[in-house]
Amino acid sequence: MMKKRVVICGEKWITEQCLEFLYNRKDTEICAIVAAPKDWQADLISFGAKRRLKVFVGNINDYVDEIELLQPDFIFSIQYRPLLKSAILNLPTSGCINLHFGLLPRYGGCYPIAWSILNGEKQAGSTLHYMVEKFDEGDIIAQTSVPIKEETTARELFDSMSLAAAKLFAETYPSLLEGTVKASSQDMSRKLYYDNDSIDFNRDRVIDWTRTGDEIQRRICAFSFEPFQLPLTSLHLPDGNQSQATVAKSRLHNNHSSKYSGKAGHITEVTDSGRLMVTTGNGDLIEIGLLNNQPPLEHIESLACTPDNITFM
């Protein structure tokens, strides 16, 4: 059996795992890697260099002639941002395949992890699908899902989805080689797509305490991607000034028999463990575990304040 020739374009840990899987197979030859110039979670350029693999850096669409000479059977796009244009899509004999972090046809496009949490979904997942000229609309090969709990953060969901997606790729790849995959077309009446402008992380991670408890908890979780990002709140100080702080380790309390009637953003209680209970717009409570990565009382005391004379805004 001749080895299948594959090109992989992508970034992050998930791509590195798929590359490692393919590199160790005797029936597969990695004929090129297309890596991002910068990658916060993996170093695919070094991965290729150490194994004497051909590495291109940047946009795969800039390497049409070079990829064509490699005569790939498959091109895999894994957590890869550029849209593969028709000149690239037409090169591999067995197709271009994308590993997308979303359960297509839902959550196509950008930020599927954040939107899954913001929309209150109970699960999220990944899809292996053939690529066409429009983002995330090709036939589905296989899918896998992971649960979303009330306190699941975007970083936690990203990590669990990465593990599940790596397993999905490894389990599906043999059937791709054998040509026994039975892909199914997407039901585009169920399509849910978010473009690049659907979220402004600097703006949208700011907490509005007049929202409902559910909305605030989801926002805190959706914009918690440590160590790079945490949601932000404003603290109204006794002297009339404001101070900003990040919020982490939150928990929603909405099962009490009667709603609190206090003003949104008011601290109603300090727990025995030093966590703060803050009132939301509909009377639910959000329990806060960390402010600016400190125990909440420590941060409030560093502002020369007490829980009684400070308000979340």
Q: Which long-range CB contacts under 8 A does 189-193 form with residues at least 24 apart? A: 190/105, 190/106, 191/105, 191/106, 191/108, 191/137, 192/105, 192/106, 192/107, 192/108, 193/108, 193/109, 193/135, 193/136
Do 151 and 220 have their domain in common?
no
Whether 137 and 188 have beta carbons less than 8 Å apart is answered as: yes
Tokens 């994308």 belong to: 98
Domain end (from 158, 178, 194): 194
CATH number at residue 48: 3.40.50.170
Do 209 and 159 have their domain in common?
no
Do 177 and 262 have their domain in common?
no
Single-letter amino acid, residue 109: G
CATH number at residue 291: 3.10.25.10
Single-letter amino acid, residue 262: G
Do 218 and 185 have their domain in common?
no
Residue 5's DSSP bridge partners are 29
Do 144 and 206 have their domain in common?
no
Do 242 and 177 have their domain in common?
no
Do 94 and 154 have their domain in common?
yes
Query: Sheet holding 267-270: strands in order across?
Result: 267-270, 276-279, 285-291, 242-253, 232-236, 311-312
Do 169 and 205 have their domain in common?
no
Range of the domain at 299: 201-312
Cis-peptide into 147, omega within 30 deg: no
Predicted pLDDT at 254: 86
Do 59 and 166 have their domain in common?
yes
Burial 253-288 (b: 16+ CB within 10 A, else e): bbeeeeebeeebbbbeebeeeebbbbbbbbbbbbbb
CA–CA dist 42, 40 (Å, integer): 6
Do 124 and 213 have their domain in common?
no
Domain end (from 166, 194, 222): 194
Do 36 and 104 have their domain in common?
yes
Domain end (from 194, 219, 251): 194
Do 221 and 172 have their domain in common?
no
Single-letter amino acid, residue 5: R
Each residue's pLDDT tens digit in the chain (313 positions)?
789 999 999 999 999 999 999 999 999 999 999 999 999 999 999 999 999 999 999 999 999 999 999 999 999 999 999 999 999 999 999 999 999 999 999 999 999 999 999 999 999 999 999 999 999 999 999 999 999 999 999 999 999 999 999 999 999 999 999 999 999 999 999 999 999 999 999 999 999 999 999 999 999 999 999 999 999 999 999 999 999 999 999 999 986 655 666 799 999 999 988 899 999 999 999 999 999 999 999 999 999 999 999 999 9
Predicted pLDDT at 273: 87
Predicted pLDDT at 192: 97
Whether 280 and 211 have beta carbons less than 8 Å apart is answered as: yes
Total tally of structural domains belonging to the chain? 2
Predicted pLDDT at 255: 67
Tokens 């991002």 belong to: 36
